[in-house]
Amino acid sequence: MTNPLYDTLFGRYAGKTTPFLHLPDGSTVTHDDFLSMAARYAHVFRSAGVAPGDRLAVQIEKSPQALAIYAACVQSGIVFLPLNTAYTATEISYFVENSGAKMLICDSANKTALTPIAQTARAQLETLDADGTGSLSTQAANQPSSFDTVTRGPDDLAAFLYTSGTTGRSKGAMLSQQNLLSNAETLVDYWNFTDQDVLLHALPIFHTHGLFVASNITLLAGGSMIFMGKFNLDQIIEQMPRATTMMGVPTFYTRLLDDARFTKSLSQHMRLFISGSAPLLADTHIQFEQRTGHRILERYGMTETNMNTSNPYDGERRAGTVGMPLPGVELKITDAATGDTLPDGEIGQIEVRGPNVFQGYWQMPEKTAEELRADGFFITGDLGVIDADGYVQIVGRNKDLIISGGFNIYPKEVELVLDEQPGVLESAVVGVPHPDFGESVVGFLVASDETGPDLDAISKTVSDSLARFKHPKKLIVLPELPRNTMGKVQKNLLRKEYDQLFAKQ
């Protein structure tokens, strides 16, 4: 193969007029139309001087065209960098400059705000809107519908995904062709996907779950997707009779359960419901099975590795666990201080090794060396335990990462904004349980003077500086932050403080 990822996922569909994407309005995009779209984009990228190995950043709404950009990057050997649509211009500036992206594609509504950022980073700026219009599509219209696939090897980079770091600076996780392809091949087999599957796809495609799990699996299996711009409860219920499988975050399933239209008869033809990106409450498992007769399959993955473990397709899907290591993936629980492997039943840090594990962090060799061992084991930062039957349970994190609605939030990034506000001496941000999103963000502030901080003004500043999913849902002023003898803020006590405050209400 000249380009393993493209040839395996996309190239074999050349000339095939079978439906690939079913859109909510009833229209479809065939495999061949999709490949033609991607080829035209690839020509635009080449004409703009974006060469194999260069990075191309996108912050655009989900659409068939947005997914075709991913295919175009793979075909032309460009490293694809999808960015959360909620990121502010300030956040985008860091990603574009750090990655050295040669091109930035954005929604036309954000062009004015992002133009100076692109100019500073010397990145060409193009637009693409959710309806498929924009400067990129205008340029692509007159390009050839075929493109000579660029030769790439299994170890060549296919994508960057930025993830939070302990300093608050996001890290660019470098994912190779083999990282992505090996994981898709494993999951297709493990979850029994075939060309008869129709995946209900309401996930974003700037995230591992919606892009590299959902889309790659469907392409590899030869199935199709009901491709929705975002989670819309009415549309999900309307489209479910046409689907066989669904992937979602816990929020999807709690919202379905809250709607009386979601019945056993509506879901009886479904083959599989998969949940990930955040822990699924045991109560949700129980309610879902009682309502539908289906037991949700929960799995465990992360930006740097794609999927590591999964509950079995055939066999017990055990609530509160993320199943067992996938074929080809090694997982062990180790002592954080010594690195020694711990026996089953003991809690420690989770480490994984396999062809799915990323290549390292972009331009951060020290951070790569800290988290990716010389023997190939990646220190995930999650704490877990393996039970007597081999099921893995995630019990916490040895970092203060917050996962809200499937998105990673590192408290330091929010704290840096809060600490700069008038009337704030210092701050600490924690995640607290949330029935819908898994966790929500709470900020604790210490006043710098008798007047104290203006909480409404701070909330406004935060909303302008950070993506919405990072906003503290509550700001609480305390006389001081609890610390241990070494002066470190004890965030576990802050979580208890939050629980006590609201238990009294």
Asked, for residue 171, whether it belongs to a domain, the answer is no
SS (H, E, C) 92-144: HHHHHHHHCCCEEEECHHHHHHHHHHHHHHCCEEEECCCCCCCHHHHHHCCCC
- Check which CATH number belongs to the domain holding 108 and give it: 3.40.50.980
Asked, for residue 439, whether it belongs to a domain, the answer is yes
Which one-letter amino acid corresponds to residue 89?
Answer: A
Asked, for residue 441, whether it belongs to a domain, the answer is yes
322 and 311 in contact (C-beta within 8 Å)?
yes
Q: Which of 99, 125, 152 is the last residue of a domain?
A: 152
Packing angle, helices 89-99 and 111-121, rounded to 10: 30
The number of CA neighbours under 13 Å toward the Cβ of 394 is: 25
Rounded to two decimals, the pTM is 0.83
Domain that holds residue 473: 402-503
Asked, for residue 469, whether it belongs to a domain, the answer is yes
| Structural domains of the chain, count | 2
Tens of pLDDT along the chain (505 residues) come to: 699 999 999 999 999 999 999 999 999 999 999 999 999 999 999 999 999 999 999 999 999 999 999 999 999 999 999 999 989 999 999 999 999 999 999 999 999 999 999 999 999 999 999 999 999 999 999 999 999 999 999 999 999 999 854 445 789 999 999 999 999 999 999 999 999 999 999 999 999 999 999 999 999 999 999 999 999 999 999 999 999 999 998 889 989 999 999 999 999 999 999 998 877 877 789 999 999 999 999 999 999 999 999 999 999 999 989 999 999 999 999 998 899 999 999 988 999 999 999 999 999 999 999 999 999 999 998 888 999 999 999 876 666 778 888 887 877 778 889 988 999 988 989 998 888 888 899 999 999 888 889 999 999 999 998 999 999 999 999 999 887 644 567 888 898 888 777 655 5
Query: What does the alpha-carbon distance between residue 347 and residue 332 come to, in Å, rounded to a whole number?
Result: 11
DSSP state, 265?
H
Q: Which of 152, 187, 206 is the last residue of a domain?
A: 152
Give the three-state DSSP class for 226: strand
Asked, for residue 478, whether it belongs to a domain, the answer is yes
